């Protein structure tokens, strides 16, 4: 309680807003002003009138907030909170891929570094990837989709396109296996199944829907299903259970934990705001180019 009170006081003193991703620890989600998916958090960052954004998520998300709102101070409570998938492709590797496919358009998942975004035509999240691909690219255009091979495969299947892909993946979602989903379905035959598009294709095939984390919240609110099996990082269950007290949620597997998302704690949020520490900064030239790909995403969205 004391920590929560200190956070509230610091928030008022600093004119701060706390943004938290759906995978954050329950107590961090509960203290946040806004909890959402990557897209929702980007939109909130672009709209807030706060001077300070305390970003409880992983580094690429905080970086995206800084790129969109360069005049604001963006803090990440633990600077080690990276995303292994985002680190699976570097700007040099992408430049090499582009040199092998000259003239191809490049779309990157928001789970990328700012330097990689700076090399892309536009950016997408799991919530809007399909729409963006449909609205942006001509049928005869070659398109490079990085870095998540599974999201690329999912969008390819939905749109009937072929992409030049990169073999990146999310180690947390890769831990969810078809066997896990099948076992949960056996235990809860009435339950609907929702999974994240970062899951393996064999897992997605078993699901009723593949959705972004915010899409999962919407589905859970609107669906008639009273039991839902959830194939994503287990932090998601806190919000689903809180918002839908009459429904029962089962994780596809308790193994789906993103250690980076769990690095943010209430203590570190207090420390960040007291010391104004780990400020997120993006070199101006990279930020300017990366912003073009993020702005295009927000426009199409
Ligand atoms: P969402 O944009 O669906 O919240 O996903 C972000 C993410 O990192 C999933 O692993
Ligand atoms: Fe990155 Fe996967 Fe963690 Fe999402 S769950 S932040 S994609 S490592």
Report yes or no: 217 and 196 within 8 Å, Cβ to Cβ. no
Q: What is the mean pLDDT of each run of 10 residues along the chain (301 residues)?
A: 93 97 98 94 91 97 95 97 98 98 97 98 96 95 98 97 98 98 98 98 98 97 98 98 98 98 98 97 97 93 75
| Ligand 1 atom with least separation from CA of 233 | 10
CA 286 to CA 274: how far, in whole Å? Answer: 29
pLDDT at 55: 97
Report yes or no: 58 and 80 within 8 Å, Cβ to Cβ. no
The set of protein residues with a Cβ atom below 6 angstroms from ligand 2 is: 58, 83-85, 111, 170-173, 198, 233, 258, 260-261
Pick the ligand that lies closest to the CA of residue 81: 2
| Ligand 2 atom with least separation from CA of 83 | 1
pLDDT at 300: 85
The total number of residues written for the chain in this structure: 301
| Ligand 2 atom with least separation from CA of 58 | 6
Q: Is the CB of 112 under 6 A from ligand 1?
A: no
Count of CB atoms situated within 10 Å of the CB of 151: 30
CA 153 to CA 148: how far, in whole Å? Answer: 9
pLDDT at 153: 98
Give whole-number Cα distances, 46 to 4, 16, 40, in Å.
26, 14, 10
Long-range CB pairs of 203-210, under 8 A, 24+ apart, other chains included: 203/176, 203/177, 203/178, 203/231, 203/252, 204/150, 204/154, 205/178, 206/178, 206/181, 206/182, 207/181, 207/231, 210/154
- Strands (E) across the chain are located at 16-21, 34-36, 52-56, 73-75, 105-109, 122-124, 143-146, 164-165, 192-195, 209-210, 227-231, 248-251
Among 260, 262, 263, 264, say which to mutate for ligand 2: greatest number of ligand atoms within 8 Å of CB. 260
Pick the ligand that lies closest to the CA of residue 35: 1
pLDDT at 42: 86
């Amino acid at each position: 309680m004391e920590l929560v009170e200190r956070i509230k006081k610091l928030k008022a003193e600093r004119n701060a807003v706390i943004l938290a991703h759906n995978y954050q620890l329950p107590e961090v989600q509960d203290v946040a002003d806004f909890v959402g998916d990557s897209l929702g958090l980007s939109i909130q960052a672009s709209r807030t009138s706060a001077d300070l954004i305390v970003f409880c998520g992983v580094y690429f998300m905080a970086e995206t907030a800084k790129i969109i709102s360069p005049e604001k101070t963006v803090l990440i409570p633990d600077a080690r909170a990276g995303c292994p998938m985002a680190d699976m492709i570097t700007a040099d590797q992408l430049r090499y891929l582009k040199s092998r496919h000259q003239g191809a358009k490049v779309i990157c998942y928001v789970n990328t570094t700012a330097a990689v975004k700076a090399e892309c035509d536009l950016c997408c999240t799991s919530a809007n990837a399909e729409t963006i691909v449909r609205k942006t690219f001509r049928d005869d255009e070659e398109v490079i989709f990085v870095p998540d091979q599974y999201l690329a495969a999912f969008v390819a299947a939905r749109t009937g396109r072929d992409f030049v892909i990169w073999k990146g993946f999310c180690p947390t979602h890769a831990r969810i296996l078809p066997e896990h989903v099948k076992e949960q379905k056996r235990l809860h035959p009435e339950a609907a199944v929702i999974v994240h598009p970062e899951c393996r294709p064999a897992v997605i095939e078993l699901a009723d829907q593949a959705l972004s984390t915010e899409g999962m919240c919407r589905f859970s609110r609107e669906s008639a299903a009273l039991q839902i099996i959830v194939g994503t990082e287990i932090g998601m269950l806190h919000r689903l259970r809180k918002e839908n007290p009459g429904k029962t949620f089962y994780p596809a597997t308790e193994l789906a934990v993103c250690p980076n998302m769990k690095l943010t704690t209430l203590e570190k949020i207090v420390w960040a705001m007291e010391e104004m520490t780990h400020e997120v900064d993006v070199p101006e030239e990279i930020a300017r180019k990366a912003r073009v790909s993020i702005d295009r995403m927000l426009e199409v969205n």
